[in-house]
Structure 1
Amino acid sequence: MDRNQMIGLGLIAALLITYAIVFKPPVTEEDLATPTTTEQAAVTTPQEEASQEETNTPLPEAIATDYTDKYGVFAAGAQGEATDLTIENEVAKFTFSSKGGIIKSVELKDFKTWDGRPLMLIDEASTSQSLTLQTVKGNINIADLYFKASQNGTNLVKGDSLQFKYTMDLGSGNSIEQIYSIAGGSYVVGYEIKINGLNSTIIGDQMNFVWAHQMKRYEKNLSDSRIKSTIKWYTLAEDLDDLKASSNDIQQEQLTEPLKWLSFDQKFFNAGIISEKGFSGALVSTEVPVQDTTIVKTGEMRLAIPVADLYSGSQLKYYFGPNNYRILKKVTPGYKENIYLGYKMVSWVNKLIIIPLFQFLEMYISSYGVIIMIIVLIIKLALFPLTRKSYLSMAKMKALKPELDELKEKTGGDQQKMQQEQMKLYREMGVNPISGCIPMVLQMPILFAMFFFFPNSIELRGESFLWATDLSTYDVLFNLPFTIPFYGSHVSGFTLLMTVSTILYTWSNNQVSTVQGPMKSIGYFMPIIFMFVLNSYSSGLSFYYFVSNIITFGQQAIIRRFVDEDKIRATLHENKKKNANKGKSKFQQRLEDAMKAGQEAKKQQKPKK
């Protein structure tokens, strides 16, 4: 650049500066009072700026048109802000969201997880819901739209109740309402979804309700939790069914019958949905996330709700709470079946005897270990006549042992002849060889009832006794530095006591039993097998069996002191004199005929030489 160019550029710059100074507009008082747009942006927080854009700034016309094209009349609910509403009562904390108007989370106040964390039965991370309607604009998921709440958060006490509403006003008399009701001290949430107008917009005949849920781990024993977690359902015809809980495979089933309720059922808790009129059908599925130890199972329910019901208000309700028999039986018919109490006859023993007795003792005794001991004592006293009869029957058989040994030598190994002579001896002596088994068979339903009751009793959850910190799961006397197959890496103290007491009880029985050979030794192997089986079961169950064995052993010791075996033997020989000319009873004749038929069948099966 030469000298003349530099002078020219300098003159141009001088002229521009002079022009800006001379022709600058005057500053008014209004300009001094109002900051510029740049200054406003400098003092506005990012949160305030976002709020202004969302609530005050109208959508650009292109975006508004896009919502209308996508949602049609539902475009009014396509924009908004998600806010939470919390309702608490004495037992639970329920959080709702204005986005979708759905239940966002439920915390059970009276319970903690096995490692001491708050028990969130559902939350935003583990649960999702969609409510899809078929419309002229395609499928619309109203769980993606925004509602306005009629209520602020509140606390409820027992005796109070609250009803509140989420409304999505779509204009021209069209709206969708979701109405919830909660009572103090209750785990039930009443739910009604209602459609106003929209007759020309909704073209489908059902709303698809999809509930996906990750069933979280709440208990120490993960494997036990997984085989007791599934989806259950109850039809309007009052039939209960479920997906196979013990399988690690993906489970899926299409349900075509009208359904009263469905639930994500775990060992001690469940989350379920109930319909007064019934769901017209469902697709249910579960899967085990084997690598994720924080999740027991994942499940999904795809439910069909008739649209016709929505115009009058579809009456539904949720249950979020514990598997407590006393609570569940008040929720809706059949809902108590979420607690598995064994096969039919066994479950009736639990429902009619064990549960009422347990609940009665709960009112007066705070220690569940003491309650278990009292239950054992009451049951054993009630069954004492049967125990005594069984023992006397074994004592009679023992008194006959010399005669039976003599018959064995006399028949020389001929089994058919030996059985015939035995039956004759029993008839003459007035002994029924199966009378000792009948009392034991009659006690079996109670024995099995306890096997299902204690592991599924939420009342024992978190309750300690002696060294057991939780009677609903296994106790740990000490941990092993290695894992034993089928046993585990810990030693359960109550299971060990149960094993030793069972061996002691078996030894006591063998003192009056006529069983000989390998069968006598099997009685000592069974307690060892159960030691492996029950090592990771409920410590309350093992403690029950231990106390039961000790009391039974004590009962037999008392009976033995008052039983004179010489007197029994003398009585049997008196019976032999009286029954010398007595004919066979119908039962004895049928038994002999059956034995003869069995012998003949064996002879015919033998190959001819």
Structure 2
Amino acid sequence: MDRNTLTGMLLIAAIMLGWSYFMKPNEAELKQYQHQTDSIKNAKAGIKTAPVTANKTVKFADSAALQEQFITLENEKVKITLSTKGGRVYSTELKGQKTWNGKPIILFNGDENRFGLKLPLTTKNVNTTDELFQPIGSSFSVAGKDSNSVTMRLAFSATQYVDYVYSLKGDSYLLNFGVKMAGMNQLLNPSAKTLNLEWKSDLIQQEKDKKNEQTYTTVFYQKENGDVDYLSESKDKEEKLEEPIKWISFKQHFFSTVLIAQNKFQTGTLSTVTDLTKSNLKNLSADLVVPIQSKPDEQLNFTFYFGPNHFTTLKNVGYDLQSQIKLGWGPLGWINRWAVIPLFNFLDNFNLNYGIIILILTVVLKLVLLPITYSSYLSQAKMRALKPEMDAIKAKVGEEDQTKLQQEYLKLYKQAGVNPLAGCIPLLLQMPILLAFFRFFPASFELRQQPFLWMNDLSTYDSVINFGVNIPFLGNHLSLMCVLMTISTLIYTWMNNRISGVTGQMKYIGYIMPVVFLGALNSFPAGLNFYYFCANIITFLQQFIIRKFVNDDAIHAKIQENKKRPGASQKSKWQMRLEEMTKQQQAAQQRKK
């Protein structure tokens, strides 16, 4: 071997040794290679493995540890269970709340829900709902002002992953939900400027009356301009949103799950479906479009609300969530928001039974309306005093010519100084308040499962008799409080007929409505029927007292005195128009002859 050959072989050996040393894989690369090898073996064996992550705190154990796991987050109000399958909220239990049959209130019902992001990768589309996440952190419980968090990670490589970060504070119905995407801009389709968030939920029955609860169950949402809207409660509906929204709520009668975007949802498709073959209430779904910026470190922030549809609680959360509680349109809503609810909350501070609170509320309302009630009674007394003269006019004119008869009546009203509509106006003024209560009691969370007398729950009907089958007009039960309310209304109608002096068919028409109410209100909350019952009883007492201060003879004498005053016999413009109409009708009849 000559000198040049030896030198060449030594150089080649030195290069190979140097290559081996400098190109040796590091520890992370060795783990990645081992993971790939294990993945191939497990794939052949049908075992699903988790991706490798660079986070030192996560230990990847054997395949048994890669099965679905659950982590519990808990405070004074909620117990939230997270699943590594989809990294999502698996179920949420509201503490201190029970269903009508004593079971825990569960808002997210395990496998009956789907929640996750659809990731449009360059190679394929990934739905996080179907993927196994790795937990970073463990179960915890917080109280007071304390807070804690846990992360669910879906890793595609050591530097490319999606984190779901859940943070919970003590004494709160809110769960902060952050989505962190690290290095995912390299994997996502370059043209992707949005992500789709899929949320579907089969809502379970919480209340006694399933049919009634279904009428309050739907999807609510807030538009970017602040308006709150919702899908139809009475029929299946699908709606495509053409403008951004701030939050979306899967609302039941007394509880809601709300997802609030710290930025916005760009657009979305919402739907409600009622499947009568299932025990669930409704299937609600939302396919929401979330804008992204395709940055190396993308951060999306959301907040969940799991809690009751309690007006003050929702209002304190913000975002106008209390608009989910339907208190009535226009003046009805104003009355409930600015008068009924503040008064109800004030009385609630005294820790009284809610039946007593309803009674006090009714008394206060009747005292406020007392001047109107007095005015109405006084008008009826004046009409009673005129009744003999009106009967004489009817006998003289006859009932065939109604126009002439009304003309003579108006002349009598003007001479006597009586306004026949004075008795109707007070009733019309009371109607908005009565209708406001009609909307308030069914929506009042405070009455839920609150007993009074024989009524176990003021928020639903009291079924003193259960028929076992549906009976036309009544349903499958009979509410005792509704029966009492109907009886008291019939008595009130009888007394009102005596006071007003109504005769003929009108005397009996008034008895029809209370019977209709028996069927209409039989399935309404016992609290509402109790309010109407109390209102009737208090009205009886008011009329009894008012009669002590109203002298019919004095009213009659005053009317006769009014008829003597100057100008009493002059015709009003309305009378003159009525006379002109009468003449035209008579002329038309003559031409026909």
Separation of aligned partners in 1, 2:590 and 2:290:
66
Match of 2:193 in 1: 205
Match of 1:492 in 2: 479
Separation of aligned partners in 2, 1:169 and 1:91:
32
Letter in 2 for 1:306: P
Letter in 1 for 2:482: T
Match of 2:573 in 1: 589
How many residue pairs get matched? Answer: 547
Match of 2:561 in 1: 574
Match of 2:513 in 1: 526
- Where in structure 2 are the equivalents of 1:251-266 lying within 5 Å? 251-266=237-252
Letter in 2 for 1:589: K
**Shift of residue 384, structure 1, vs aligned partner:** 0.5
Contact preservation (8 Å) 1:423, 1:592: no
Match of 1:219 in 2: 207
Separation of aligned partners in 2, 1:328 and 1:424:
58
**Shift of residue 346, structure 1, vs aligned partner:** 0.6
Letter in 2 for 1:295: N
Match of 1:233 in 2: 221
**Shift of residue 81, structure 1, vs aligned partner:** 3.8
**Shift of residue 360, structure 1, vs aligned partner:** 1.1
**Kindly tell me: are residues 244 and 512 of structure 1, through their superposed partners in 2, closer, same or farther at Cα, counting changes over 3 Å?**
same
Letter in 1 for 2:560: H
**Shift of residue 469, structure 1, vs aligned partner:** 0.8
- Where in structure 2 are the equivalents of 1:475-486 lying within 5 Å? 475-480=462-467, 483-486=470-473
Separation of aligned partners in 2, 1:491 and 1:147:
53
Q: Is residue 560 from structure 1 mapped to residue 550 from structure 2 by the alignment?
A: no
Separation of aligned partners in 2, 1:522 and 1:170:
76
Q: Is residue 298 from structure 1 mapped to residue 283 from structure 2 by the alignment?
A: yes
**Shift of residue 571, structure 1, vs aligned partner:** 0.7
Task: Give the SS at the match of 2:337.
Answer: helix
Letter in 2 for 1:470: D
- Where in structure 2 are the equivalents of 1:42-121 lying within 5 Å? 59-61=38-40, 80-121=66-107
**Kindly tell me: are residues 222 and 105 of structure 1, through their superposed partners in 2, closer, same or farther at Cα, counting changes over 3 Å?**
same
Contact preservation (8 Å) 2:90, 2:111: no
Letter in 2 for 1:142: T
Is 136-145 or 467-476 further displaced after alignment? 136-145
Separation of aligned partners in 1, 2:521 and 2:54:
60
Contact preservation (8 Å) 1:494, 1:542: yes
List alignment gaps of at least 5 residues for structure 1.
1-54
**Shift of residue 210, structure 1, vs aligned partner:** 0.9
Contact preservation (8 Å) 2:70, 2:84: yes
Which of the numbers 160, 164, 168 marks the counterpart of 1:182?
168
What do you get for the CA RMSD once the two structures are aligned? 3.1
Match of 1:540 in 2: 527
CA-to-partner distance for each residue in 1:134-181, whole Å, 9 max, x for gaps? 110121112333333333212221322223333334446323222222
Match of 1:242 in 2: 230
Match of 2:301 in 1: 315
Contact preservation (8 Å) 2:197, 2:290: yes
Task: Give the SS at the match of 2:405.
Answer: helix
Separation of aligned partners in 2, 1:192 and 1:404:
77
Letter in 1 for 2:573: Q
Which of the numbers 458, 461, 477 marks the counterpart of 1:471?
458
Match of 1:52 in 2: none
Is 559-568 or 119-128 further displaced after alignment? 119-128
**Kindly tell me: are residues 330 and 601 of structure 1, through their superposed partners in 2, closer, same or farther at Cα, counting changes over 3 Å?**
farther
Separation of aligned partners in 2, 1:606 and 1:98:
91
**Kindly tell me: are residues 442 and 594 of structure 1, through their superposed partners in 2, closer, same or farther at Cα, counting changes over 3 Å?**
farther
Which of the numbers 373, 382, 402 marks the counterpart of 1:396?
382
**Shift of residue 72, structure 1, vs aligned partner:** 11
Match of 1:27 in 2: none
Contact preservation (8 Å) 2:205, 2:281: yes
CA-to-partner distance for each residue in 1:198-238, whole Å, 9 max, x for gaps? 22321222111111101111111111111111111111112
Contact preservation (8 Å) 1:416, 1:599: no
**Shift of residue 101, structure 1, vs aligned partner:** 2.0
- TM-score, with structure 1 as normaliser: 0.84
Task: Give the SS at the match of 1:131.
Answer: strand
Match of 2:404 in 1: 417
Is 423-432 or 522-531 further displaced after alignment? 423-432
List alignment gaps of at least 5 residues for structure 2.
1-33
Separation of aligned partners in 2, 1:251 and 1:74:
43
Letter in 1 for 2:489: T
**Shift of residue 541, structure 1, vs aligned partner:** 0.5
Task: Give the SS at the match of 1:320.
Answer: strand
CA-to-partner distance for each residue in 1:570-601, whole Å, 9 max, x for gaps? 111111112435756xxx63586379669968
Is 166-175 or 565-574 further displaced after alignment? 166-175
- TM-score, with structure 2 as normaliser: 0.86
Letter in 2 for 1:307: I
Is 526-535 or 591-600 further displaced after alignment? 591-600
Q: Is residue 513 from structure 1 mapped to residue 500 from structure 2 by the alignment?
A: yes
Is 224-233 or 159-168 further displaced after alignment? 159-168
Contact preservation (8 Å) 1:180, 1:191: yes
CA-to-partner distance for each residue in 1:40-76, whole Å, 9 max, x for gaps? xxxxxxxxxxxxxxx9995253767999xxx999999
**Kindly tell me: are residues 594 and 117 of structure 1, through their superposed partners in 2, closer, same or farther at Cα, counting changes over 3 Å?**
farther
Separation of aligned partners in 1, 2:163 and 2:356:
52
Is 471-480 or 536-545 further displaced after alignment? 471-480
Q: Is residue 405 from structure 1 mapped to residue 391 from structure 2 by the alignment?
A: yes
Letter in 1 for 2:144: K
Separation of aligned partners in 2, 1:239 and 1:605:
58
**Kindly tell me: are residues 363 and 309 of structure 1, through their superposed partners in 2, closer, same or farther at Cα, counting changes over 3 Å?**
farther
Is 152-161 or 559-568 further displaced after alignment? 152-161
Match of 1:355 in 2: 341
Task: Give the SS at the match of 1:417.
Answer: helix
Separation of aligned partners in 2, 1:220 and 1:163:
36
Separation of aligned partners in 1, 2:294 and 2:352:
48
CA-to-partner distance for each residue in 1:309-352, whole Å, 9 max, x for gaps? 88542221111111100111122322111111122211111111
CA-to-partner distance for each residue in 1:353-398, whole Å, 9 max, x for gaps? 1111111111103311111101001100111011000110111111
Contact preservation (8 Å) 1:232, 1:265: yes
Contact preservation (8 Å) 1:121, 1:271: yes
**Shift of residue 559, structure 1, vs aligned partner:** 0.4
Separation of aligned partners in 2, 1:602 and 1:273:
70
Contact preservation (8 Å) 2:114, 2:129: no
**Kindly tell me: are residues 222 and 360 of structure 1, through their superposed partners in 2, closer, same or farther at Cα, counting changes over 3 Å?**
same
Contact preservation (8 Å) 1:156, 1:184: yes
Contact preservation (8 Å) 2:411, 2:569: no
Match of 1:140 in 2: 126
Separation of aligned partners in 1, 2:584 and 2:321:
54
Match of 1:168 in 2: 154
Contact preservation (8 Å) 2:332, 2:436: yes
Task: Give the SS at the match of 1:130.
Answer: strand
Separation of aligned partners in 2, 1:254 and 1:599:
61
Separation of aligned partners in 2, 1:562 and 1:514:
19
Which of the numbers 440, 445, 451 marks the counterpart of 1:458?
445
Letter in 1 for 2:208: K
Separation of aligned partners in 2, 1:606 and 1:119:
77
Match of 1:366 in 2: 352
